[in-house]
Amino acid sequence: MLYFKSEYRLTVVQAGDFAALCTFLGAMARPIGGAVADRFGGIRSLYGFYAAAGAMLVAGALFKNFALNVIVFAIASGALGMANGAVFQLLPQRFGKDLGVMTGLVGAGGGVGGFFLASSLGLAKGFTGSYSAGFLIFAGLCFLSIGGLFVVKTRWRTTWGDLAQARI
């Protein structure tokens, strides 16, 4: 919300509306991410969702156009929401015995991620005078997640036993 208020001189209510729009899109995109993961596989879907979110966050850091940034952040929020939904497709395959704990951790992680994005933007603005570093750091985390998935993908697939034939 502070981003929209300080960068584009919106009122608090207007800025809150745009922040709420992004939050709403992220939440509503979760089931879509789960459905995409069911159809194409969780890991493959996460690659796409994290790449889209990272690319949009980089664009948000580089461009300072209100309409473009609203669209960019709406897409990034939706992609991160879909990534959260796709993770839930992987949980029963990877953590069958600890599914309850892992579901709770993933849900908490989604909440922390949303909080971290907002607070990293504020920290970046405080330290550098610009929000760009915060967007780039969060984009870097998206790309780091892609690398992490690449590293664990083969090991996960070989340890899933009967579920190894599932779309992952």
Higher confidence at residue 168 or residue 104? 104
Distance CA 115, CA 117 (A): 6
Band (164; pLDDT cuts 50, 70, 90):
very low
What's the mean per-residue pLDDT of the chain? 87
Q: What is the distance between the alpha carbons of residues 81 and 107, in angstroms, rounded to a whole number? A: 11
Task: Report d(CA 80, CA 58) in Å as an integer.
Answer: 14
- Spell out the domains of the chain, with CATH numbers in brackets: 2-163 (1.20.1250.20)
Cβ–Cβ < 8 Å for 43, 51 = no
Q: How far apart are CA 165 and CA 43, in angstroms?
A: 14
Task: Tell me the per-residue pLDDT of 91-123, one tens digit each, with 9 for 90 and over.
Answer: 887 777 788 888 888 888 777 877 777 778 888
DSSP, residue by residue, 110-152: HHHHHHHHHHHHHHHHHHHSSSHHHHHHHHHHHHHHHHHHHHH
On whether the CB atoms of residues 73 and 56 are closer than 8 A, the answer is: yes
Rounded Cα distance between 21 and 84, Å, is 18
What's the pLDDT score for residue 167? 53
